[in-house]
Amino acid sequence: MGKPTGFMEYERKNNPAAESLERIKNFNEFHTPLSMKERKTQGARCMECGVPFCQSGMMIGGMASGCPLNNLIPEWNDLLYNGNMEQALNRLLKTNNFPEFTCRVCPSPCEAACTCNLVNHPISIKENEMGIIEYGYEQGYIKANPPKVRTGKKVAVVGSGPSGLAAADLLNRRGHSVTVFERFDRIGGLLMYGIPNMKLEKHIIDRKINLMKEEGVEFVVNADVGKNVKAAELLKDYDSVILACGASNPRNIEAPGRDAKGIYFAVDFLRSVTKSLLDSELKDKAYAEVKNKHVVVIGGGDTGNDCVGTSIRLGAKSVIQLEMMPKPPEERLPNNPWPEWPKVLKTDYGQEEAIAVFGKDPRIYQTTVKEFKKDKNGNLNKLVTVKLEGKKDEKTGRMMMVPVAGSEKEIPADVVLIAAGFLGTQDYVAKEFNVKLNQRTNVETAPDDHQTSQKNVFTAGDMHIGQSLVVRAIHEGREAAKQVDEHLMGYTNIV
């Protein structure tokens, strides 16, 4: 695929990013696309590797290797290289409902599994994907295509994140009448309010939602199912219901002083900033004020990095990021071979910006909070941190990170953002539909199944499998759509 010798002839070239000190002046996306000529050259780098692990979508060692959507990556790289853009777009959309989202926010397990990654730089798969989908919009190839025949069946989708939207999109194309219920005031779930604007500008979401509306999908906002919308109503009015509410129950940090003012969960903070940005260009100040304050982010990962980048844009006086685990190696270790996900040090855009603004990497490894300290008014003003070390638990044999005696240290902190991950679904929706949860507090189903313990009620996405990648969420939505279609019609022709 591509040019068989292209990976030897051409170097990987990324979409150039604006300089850190320049891009922090706003919340806009900050990469400039390559020219189409340069993008075709990047498509040429896709080698004829024989076994394209990039599209395998396997789980190795509990981590994704290759694209969970099984995107036809070598095919559309080849079509891109040869300039057959309309066919490249068709092959891209065959497996992915939302390449305009994934090309911006997916961590690219496809590139980690690229065969070129063994000895060279991987193909720029994600950016090639962006080149194809944005060309499709620019050239008018992407148009509303409502189904010509309706089945008479009605489906309610609860949650408008990537899994709910993917299920709704496929079921609507099939001819079912689909209504999506979203508890917040805008459609998109975590795509809208959990991912900052500089990673995914919200007009990109609106563009796709407007297409889905033209194709017949109905959207209801401010509809918090389990609170102001009752399960009994949905089960009466719809033939099937899909629960796609995400794993939005945040992991807390239990330590003395937790009740101090100035401690927020990361997603609540990010949501409030994005909503204020969209509502008033931040003029309403309806978010946690961090300007001229010492900010501490607890937790790594994409969400922690997003908190760092957002805090810097809002004028934080300092930003520190605490990570429980040791600093990763800069190169793969022998026990982490390709095509496993590489457990190596990644310095993301937020950390790059912190280095540019404050002169050092914000991350402090093997450290957690022992105590939150507050002033006489109850406002957070300091943290007591403690170093951690790995020790094997004698009962379970598992490695645990435990405090190092005498390693306590005080650091200034006016605002703390907890980005320690999620524990599973918020249970009020599950209780409303009376569906069973498993030990991880995800909705229980049989293996590789989306049917819940209740008749006509299905589940998909993080609510089903726990916190995961956007591509896995889309895959979940697609698989749930197939099962619901078969449940309604006795067979399915959704592929």
pLDDT tens track for 432-464: 999 999 998 999 999 999 999 999 999 999 999
* Per-residue pLDDT reduced to its tens digit, 366-420: 999 999 999 999 999 999 999 999 998 888 888 899 999 999 999 999 999 999 9
pLDDT confidence tier of residue 119, bands split at 50, 70 and 90: confident
pLDDT at 18: 98
For range 76-82, the mean pLDDT:
96
Share of the chain above pLDDT 90, in %: 92
For range 222-244, the mean pLDDT:
97
Please count the other Cβ atoms lying within 10 Å of the Cβ belonging to residue 320. 24
Average pLDDT along the chain: 96
For range 102-108, the mean pLDDT:
97
pLDDT at 470: 96
Q: Where do we find the tokens 């036809």?
A: 72
Tell me which amino acid residue 298 is: I
The contacts of residue 193 (CB under 8 Å, 6+ apart) are 184, 186, 267, 270, 271, 274, 275
For range 103-108, the mean pLDDT:
96
Q: Are 127 and 111 in contact (CB under 8 A)?
A: no
pLDDT at 2: 79
pLDDT at 61: 83
Is pLDDT of 307 > 80? yes
Q: Are 474 and 162 in contact (CB under 8 A)?
A: yes
Cα separation, 112 vs 289, in Å, equals: 38
Is pLDDT of 426 > 90? no
pLDDT at 48: 85
CA 196 to chain centre: 11
Task: Write out the two tokens for 414.
Answer: 């006016």
Task: Write out the two tokens for 343.
Answer: 């457990």
Task: Write out the two tokens for 477.
Answer: 């939505």
CATH code reported for the domain at 154-248+423-489: 3.50.50.60
pLDDT at 365: 97
pLDDT at 118: 86
Longest dimension (CA), the chain: 71
Which of these, 347, 350, 346, lies nearest to 314 by C-alpha position? 350
Give the strand pairing for 415-418 and 399-403. unpaired
For range 189-201, the mean pLDDT:
97
Q: Where do we find the tokens 């199912």?
A: 225
Tell me which amino acid residue 126 is: K
Predicted TM-score (pTM) of the model is 0.96
Is pLDDT of 1 > 80? no
For range 2-24, the mean pLDDT:
94
Task: Write out the two tokens for 443.
Answer: 């909705």
Q: What CATH number matches the domain at 263-418, 3.50.50.60, 3.40.1210.10, 1.10.1200.10, 3.20.10.10? A: 3.50.50.60
pLDDT confidence tier of residue 9, bands split at 50, 70 and 90: very high
* Per-residue pLDDT reduced to its tens digit, 350-363: 999 999 999 999 99
* Per-residue pLDDT reduced to its tens digit, 251-267: 999 999 999 999 999 99
Q: Are 454 and 434 in contact (CB under 8 A)?
A: yes
pLDDT at 282: 98
For range 149-163, the mean pLDDT:
98
Q: Are 325 and 343 in contact (CB under 8 A)?
A: no
Burial level of 447, CB count in 10 A (0-12/13-18/19+)? exposed
The contacts of residue 69 (CB under 8 Å, 6+ apart) are 57, 95, 96, 102, 471, 474, 475, 478
> Which run of H or E residues covers position 247?
none
Cα separation, 343 vs 64, in Å, equals: 12
pLDDT at 236: 98
> Which run of H or E residues covers position 409?
strand 409-412
Task: Note whether 6-138 and 154-248+423-489 share their fold.
Answer: no
Is pLDDT of 285 > 80? yes
Least confident of 76-80, 305-309, 346-350, 426-430: 426-430
Q: How far is CA 414 from CA 17, 39, 319, 379, 482, in A?
A: 31, 45, 10, 8, 49
Burial level of 367, CB count in 10 A (0-12/13-18/19+)? buried
Domain spans in the chain, listed from the N-terminal domain onward:
6-138, 154-248+423-489, 263-418
Query: 6-138: what fold?
Result: Fumarate Reductase Iron-sulfur Protein; Chain B, domain 2 (1.10.1060)
pLDDT at 405: 95
Helix, strand or coil, per DSSP, at residue 70: coil
Q: Are 278 and 287 in contact (CB under 8 A)?
A: no
The contacts of residue 455 (CB under 8 Å, 6+ apart) are none
Is pLDDT of 424 > 90? no
Please count the other Cβ atoms lying within 10 Å of the Cβ belonging to residue 253. 17
For range 8-35, the mean pLDDT:
97
pLDDT confidence tier of residue 195, bands split at 50, 70 and 90: very high
- What letter does residue 424 receive in the DSSP assignment? S
pLDDT at 396: 81
Q: What is the 3-state secondary structure (H, E, C) of 252-297?
A: CCCCCCCCCECEEEHHHHHHHHHHHHHHHCCCCCCCCCCECCEEEE
Burial level of 85, CB count in 10 A (0-12/13-18/19+)? buried
